[in-house]
Homo-oligomer: A and B are copies of this chain.
Amino acid sequence: MTDLLTSALNPRSVAIIGASDNIHKIGGRPIYYMQQHGFQGKVYPINPTRTEIQGHRAYGTLGDLPEVPDLALIVVGGDKTVSAVEECAARGVKSAVIIASGFGETGPEGKELEQHMLDKARATGMRLYGPNTQGLANFGTGAIAGFSTMFIEVPPMDGPIGIVSQSGGMSAMTYGLLRGRGLGVRHVHATGNEADVSVGEMALAVAHDPDVKLLLLYLETITKPDVLAQAAAIARERDLPIVAVKAGRTAGGQRAASSHTGSLANEDRTVNAFFEHHGIWRVRDPHEQARAAQAYLKGWRPQGKRLVVISNSGASCVMGADAADDEQLPLAELSPATQTAVAEKLPGFATTQNPIDITAALLSNSGLFGEVLPAVAKDPAADLFFIHIPVAGAGYDVERFARDAAAFEAATGKPVAVAAWQDSVAQAFRAHGIATFPNEGDAIAVLAQLANHTALLRKQAGHPKPVPPLALPTSSPLSARSGGFLNEAQSLQLLGEHGVPVVPMALCQSADEARAAFERISADGSRVVVKACSSDIPHKSEHGLVALNVASARQAGELFEQFWQKMADMQAAREGVIVAAMCKGRQEFMVGARVDPVFGPVVVVGDGGKYTEALNDCVVLLPPFSAQDVQTALQRLHMAPLLAGLRGEPPLDVAALAQLTVAVSEFVMRARGQVASLDLNPVLVGSAGEGAMVVDALIEVAAAR
């Protein structure tokens, strides 16, 4: 699928169509940048009014060039853009970057023009970048097919970070924030409207660069999840973390995204499930991306989440403990040996528990810091360290603190984050290469992110294999129709055939059948449920068409007659009357699935019953997933405390619910293209060992393609 986009990311020759001698114009900047950053390939300015541009020979047209360039950067606007693309394609250019805006983001007409350019490019195998992009920049090779002002504002330095962004503004901002922290950046690529190449495909290419150790993405829409998933897989193999901003999280944001890059809206909780599934860490904005970069580049992969807080301010210890709790990082319980060692160093009134309060005694003894830290460094109970210096200055040997902290970091080999709001203090720590933040919230959030992202990547390795699609027999009710819904009996039966535990039931067409079904289902003397089955009546109970606790065959037969008549009275399709076992589950859940137009099968599981939709207490999972994945996800529900059993009750059979959910996911993966959605509610779950069972189900058939 991908050619690693070499002709764009590492071209041997670049033509600039609309080149300018003015380095502050869009057509002048790239030439200037390539010169500045040592691009070794050929640069071909194209401008019919000039013979030389910035020291390069200029050409009148693409056809005048001595060779067909790998990459063409199209800077001309309006109608000229389209004809330039046509000419590039015709001449066999491999990649074209289209800077101009005014295409897909403006509406249907612009979309059509975009499609036209894409068709032309596809016809000759040319790849398109943009339109509506700020372009591409590779500081490893100096191939800069972009014009960002930011490369003047903050001088580039090649380094281990790759940025791929739909938005040019955000690629520049993220670049600037990273460079402001002294970090080097190799790739700064913007994909704009993504007529052809998407962030995912670009990320896949960048993930193959062995020098890249951190990959940052900005997306407003995910159109090709498969290629992004492939990028994530490559990254995981290489131990390359991906941290993504997906803007347009909310309805308001999605509206704005649509007029920015013509983006289609993704359902946000599905986006979360997608990122989680593929081990991509999602953050809110470029600030959060830049904030964690240095810590990622340290290569820390924490084993756990237990935090030690150290400060020279008691209040900071208090707030550090609060912040740890906010991030769900438990405070490490220091070993007695560590506590004794710490106690020997600190004044009598200080605490030796975690948080460790070095107290204001640091003012009179600047060595305290270096005396306490080695005692803590090797404690096996600690996974993460946070040091807060909220007060320092005259009288404090800050340089010594920084040196001691650096020695501590080296000794422990585990993540250490420092917070210091005073610039002078922070600078001292930064000079020693320590990850230093202006406040504790940022520092502890980054430690938590590292620990959680590492755990996510470990978990991701445990995903089961996807289940291949399977054409259902033409006799299947799914094959028999296009769109619309199966009735309850068909839905239950189909699920049952695919390994999903469903309530034992029979669809009856006569009172005799109903009586016989009763005898069969109630063989053990248990009671049954009788309910009408008609696609026309979704809410049966509201029409008195459900009878619980039916205790005799005679009664089942009578109810058949009664419901049969009532369906006729309601002029509803009479598809039968269901006689089903009465389930004894303790708690109602719901399991749903739908085939998302972008992401494919998506499974939802959560609190069931009448108010499922309004209360929205559910989790979203992308198949394939394991029963363990379901169990972990269920712990995020508001209702999660019920799972373990309360007030002397036994726990619920969460394992059975998880297994049922996996079976549902395998069914939707197998029936891909044939099922549009399914809604199982309630799924009754009993106490541990009693199992889980689908009691009502509704399957929506996919429309024929």
Interface residues of A (CB under 8 A from B): 24, 101-102, 105-106, 110, 148-150, 152-153, 165-170, 172-173, 176-177, 218, 220, 245, 247-253, 255-257, 259-261, 284-285, 287, 312-326, 331, 348-349, 351, 353, 355, 357, 359-360, 363, 390-396, 421-422, 424, 438-441, 539, 542, 610-611, 614-617, 638-639, 641-642, 646-648
Contact = CB atoms under 8 A, between A and B. Distances in A.
B255 A421 contact: no
Contacts of A165: 315
Nearest to A101: B349
Nearest to A356: B256
Given A169-B314, A169-B315, A638-B638, A150 B391 contact: yes
A441 B285 contact: yes
Nearest to A315: B167
Nearest to A168: B360
Q: Which 10 A-B pairs have the closest CB atoms?
A: A260-B314, A167-B315, A169-B313, A252-B321, A250-B325, A253-B322, A614-B641, A153-B393, A253-B321, A259-B351
19 contacts: A110-B349, A166-B315, A169-B313, A169-B316, A169-B390, A173-B390, A247-B318, A250-B322, A252-B321, A252-B324, A252-B325, A253-B321, A255-B321, A256-B318, A256-B355, A287-B439, A542-B648, A611-B642, A614-B646
A232 B105 CA distance: 51
The count of identical subunits is 2
B394 A248 contact: no
A422 B286 CA distance: 13
Nearest to A424: B153
Contact of A319 (B251, B285, B611): B285
A358 to B, nearest CB: 11
A320 to B, nearest CB: 8
A313 B641 CA distance: 44
A248 B396 contact: no
Contacts of A150: 391, 393
Given A251-B325, A439-B287, A614-B642, A391 B318 contact: no
A611 B45 CA distance: 73
Contacts of A253: 318-319, 321-322, 325
A550 to B, nearest CB: 20
A363 B324 CA distance: 44
A117 to B, nearest CB: 16
A611 B646 contact: yes
Nearest to A134: B360
Given A318-B253, A638-B615, A349 B102 contact: yes
A285 B611 contact: no
Nearest to A329: B252
A622 to B, nearest CB: 22
Contact of A315 (B148, B247, B646): B247
Contacts of A172: 390-391
Contacts of A317: 256, 260
A148 B323 CA distance: 26
A321 to B, nearest CB: 4
A282 to B, nearest CB: 12
A648 B542 CA distance: 10
Nearest to A326: B250
A422 B220 contact: no
Contacts of A353: 255, 259
Contacts of A639: 615
A453 B317 CA distance: 28
Given A610-B647, A641-B614, A396 B257 contact: no
Contact of A638 (B363, B396, B617): B617
Given A260-B357, A421-B177, A149 B322 contact: no
A617 B247 CA distance: 31
Nearest to A649: B610
A324 B315 CA distance: 32
Contacts of A319: 245, 247, 253, 284-285
Contacts of A615: 638-639, 641-642
A466 B238 CA distance: 66
A217 B177 CA distance: 33
A285 B318 contact: no
Nearest to A425: B153
Most B CB within 10 A of own CB, among A218, A252, A394: A252
A105 B247 contact: no
A316 to B, nearest CB: 7
Given A256-B355, A638-B615, A395 B149 contact: yes
A542 B315 CA distance: 48
Given A247-B315, A260-B315, A439-B285, A393 B152 contact: yes
Nearest to A396: B149
Contacts of A173: 313, 390-391, 421
Nearest to A648: B542
A21 to B, nearest CB: 16
A75 to B, nearest CB: 13
Most B CB within 10 A of own CB, among A172, A353, A390, A394: A390
Contact of A248 (B149, B176, B322, B616): B322
A161 to B, nearest CB: 17
A247 B642 contact: no
Most B CB within 10 A of own CB, among A256, A285, A438, A638: A256
Contacts of A638: 615, 617, 638
B248 A318 contact: yes
A285 B419 CA distance: 13
Contact of A176 (B250, B287, B316, B421): B421
A331 B218 contact: no
Given A152-B393, A395-B149, A639-B615, A287 B441 contact: yes
Contacts of A390: 169-170, 172-173
Contacts of A424: 153
A223 to B, nearest CB: 16
Contact of A314 (B261, B355, B392): B261
A148 B390 CA distance: 12
Given A170-B390, A247-B322, 14 more contacts: A24-B395, A101-B349, A105-B314, A148-B391, A176-B421, A247-B315, A247-B318, A251-B325, A256-B320, A259-B353, A260-B314, A285-B440, A616-B641, A638-B638
